[in-house]
Chains A and B, each alone.
Chain A
């Protein structure tokens, strides 16, 4: 089992651009959640999806959006990038809806740098 996989591993963008980050959950896991981790801080919850429906949203602006596909993989989209969006973006998967806020399986993350 490859675990949760995220792509790309690193990404450099400039202000105003948009970005799409991808996540493949562990096989059999139907719940995917996204987190932003700024250097020196803990992860901050962005979105949670279960069975292709949004089940939770953190305090992030509308520039952040996400979706989950029929194969349970997920994309996080960020528009009009700001310098403050520079961070490590983590994806986590869980098998059950009840476990959605106890994610046990995290990916390695995508390191996004905004110039």
Chain B
């Protein structure tokens, strides 16, 4: 069955430390992966997509088809990174998108 798994509900990291938010997916077709972020009292917004291979706000994510993962990484956490992060999978063959349950990132001062 298709699914997106974000194993951590809450991740606490000290400011300046590296951050890695895990995302694993299950899909037999060709996946398109995304990360969305929701800051406190703000709307859900697209952070980055794997096809763009871009770095946004210092975050990067690499699609690893062998490990079926799309982990979100940042070398040095900042307090403004505290937010809810969702990993999402677009299933090309089924024309649907599914989201993970989300990970709340808390940056400690």
Contacts and interface: CB of A to CB of B under 8 A. Distances in A.
Interface of A: 3-4, 40-45, 55-56, 58, 90, 92, 101-108
Interface of B: 4, 32, 34, 43-46, 49, 86, 88, 90, 95-102
A95 to B, nearest CB: 13
B32 A108 contact: no
Given A43-B86, A45-B96, A56-B95, A107 B101 contact: no
A64 B97 CA distance: 18
Nearest to A44: B99
22 contacts: A40-B101, A41-B101, A41-B102, A42-B4, A42-B86, A42-B99, A43-B44, A43-B86, A44-B98, A44-B99, A45-B99, A56-B95, A56-B96, A92-B44, A102-B34, A102-B90, A103-B46, A104-B46, A105-B45, A106-B44, A106-B45, A108-B43
Contacts of B43: 3-4, 106-108
A107 B45 CA distance: 10
Given A42-B86, A45-B97, A101-B32, 16 more contacts: A40-B101, A42-B4, A42-B88, A43-B86, A43-B99, A44-B98, A45-B98, A45-B99, A56-B95, A92-B44, A101-B90, A102-B32, A102-B90, A105-B45, A106-B43, A106-B45
Contacts of A44: 98-99
B96 to A, nearest CB: 6
Interface centre among A4, A42, A108 (most CB of B within 10 A): A42
Contacts of A56: 95-96
A16 to B, nearest CB: 29
Contacts of A92: 44
A40 B100 CA distance: 11
